[in-house]
Amino acid sequence: MSDVAALAGVSHQTVSRVVNGHPNVAPQTRERVERAIAELGYRPNIAARALVTGSTRTLGLVTVKIDQYGPAQTMIGLENAARAAGYSVSVSILDDATAAAMRDAIDTFVAQRVDGIVALSTYDDAAEALRALDPPVPLVAVQVGGGEDRPAVGVDQETGARLATRHLLGLGHRTVHHVAGPADSQEARGRIDGWRSELRAAGAPVPEELLRGDWTASSGYLAGKALAARIHGGEDITAVLTANDQMALGLLAALHQCGLRIPEDVSVVGFDDLPEAPYFTPPLTTVRQDFAELGRRGVQLVLARMNGQDLHPEPVPTALLVRSSTGPARVRT
């Protein structure tokens, strides 16, 4: 900086003023400084600035299991929104959502003096770890529920699941079966709640046995096999809601293999709307989540907290996309 000042024939403070866009600098001085900056290829040192201002203009993002489509998209949304707001993003991708790993990551962010932290995960251990922590900077949760006091944004899982269930009941299905996500996932529970309450509201029987998956296509396949066996055993199962598209894909594969036709024999609805969903066999009816929007609201929320505002954002809405994996119930023989 002093080199620039010397070359432009001004003090370092004036250079600082130019760099930070202060108003009270004479236009010609400003120009002279800017030329010197360009000539010398000068870049201000963020660390030094952070030291004196106490702000790094960096957000910490801690996440688990980013290998799923949803979290990855949400991360993109977060990063873009943060960058647009002039913040850098430092990420920590945890292998598993243990409290210890979570604490470690947050600790590192605190040492880095990030201005705010966004935690992105749908698992209970992560949520619990978060609850126990009290970092000196705002910490908001994205898609992690259960925080009574901790600020959070999420997707309106319940309405999404209700939409899907209603669609299937509307097609004349007696009831809807559900292949749920992991028990320790808040997100999965939201979908179960929505599905169950819609069935109840419609007076449809609520299937006792709940099928569990772990979000992977492989677990969906297993669920599909189990379901097919029950259908061949004479059970009246004609409509299935799976908790995400990957599991729906596995389920579809299993039902196909067992000679069941979609949607003639069984209607299937997914959740997420992967870009690939229209190309499943058959094209998948599913519930779309706007992950990018979720990320954006997450950033909006930390930023608000950083300014001391107490924002309570609405959950991100979902939408049902009807494609070819759902059809009218066949008449019982």
Partner DNA sequence: ACGCTGGGTGTTAGCGCTAACATGCGATCG
Partner DNA sequence: CGATCGCATGTTAGCGCTAACACCCAGCGT
- What residue ranges bind DNA (CB under 7 A)? 1-2, 9-14, 16-17, 19-20, 23-26, 29-30, 44-45, 48-49, 51-53
* DSSP codes, 145-203: ---SSS-EE-B-HHHHHHHHHHHHHHTT-S--EEEE--TTBHHHHHHHHHHHHHHHHTT
Which lies closer to DNA via its Cβ, residue 17 or residue 167?
Answer: 17
Closest to 21 in 3D by CA, of 86, 91, 90: 86
Contact set for its own copies, span 241-280 (CB under 8 A): 246, 249-250, 252-253, 256, 275-276, 278-280
Closest to 57 in 3D by CA, of 80, 20, 90: 90
Least Å distance, CB 276 to its own copies, is: 5
Contact call for residue 51 and its own copies (CB under 8 A): yes
Contact call for residue 181 and its own copies (CB under 8 A): no
**Chain position carrying tokens 């619990």:** 128
Which lies closer to its own copies via its Cβ, residue 195 or residue 221?
Answer: 221
Residue 23 binds which one of DNA, its own copies, none, with CB within 5 to 8 A depending on kind? DNA
* DSSP codes, 82-139: HHHTT-EEEEEEESS--HHHHHHHHHHHHHHT-SEEEEE--BHHHHHHHHH---SS-E
A 10 A CB-CB count for 99 gives 16
Which lies closer to DNA via its Cβ, residue 3 or residue 293?
Answer: 3
- Sheet harboring 239-242: ordered strands across? 211-212, 177-180, 239-242, 267-269
Least Å distance, CB 51 to DNA, is: 4
Which lies closer to its own copies via its Cβ, residue 15 or residue 192?
Answer: 15
Residue 108 binds which one of its own copies, DNA, none, with CB within 5 to 8 A depending on kind? its own copies
Contact call for residue 47 and its own copies (CB under 8 A): yes
Residue 229 binds which one of DNA, its own copies, none, with CB within 5 to 8 A depending on kind? none
Which lies closer to its own copies via its Cβ, residue 63 or residue 175?
Answer: 63
Least Å distance, CB 57 to its own copies, is: 10
Integer-rounded Cα Rg, in Å, for the chain is 26
Contact call for residue 298 and its own copies (CB under 8 A): no
Which lies closer to its own copies via its Cβ, residue 65 or residue 297?
Answer: 65
Which lies closer to DNA via its Cβ, residue 51 or residue 229?
Answer: 51
Q: DSSP label at 279? A: G
d(CA 316, CA 151): 15
d(CA 260, CA 254): 9
Least Å distance, CB 68 to its own copies, is: 9
Tokens of 319: 């939408």
The residues, ordered by sequence, that sit 6+ positions from 322 with a Cβ below 8 Å of its Cβ are 167, 285
Residue 79 binds which one of DNA, its own copies, none, with CB within 5 to 8 A depending on kind? its own copies
* Residues near its own copies, by CB under 8 A: 43-48, 50-51, 56, 58, 66-67, 72-73, 75-76, 79-80, 83, 88-93, 95, 107-108, 110-113, 216-218, 220-221, 246, 249-250, 252-253, 256, 275-276, 278-281, 283
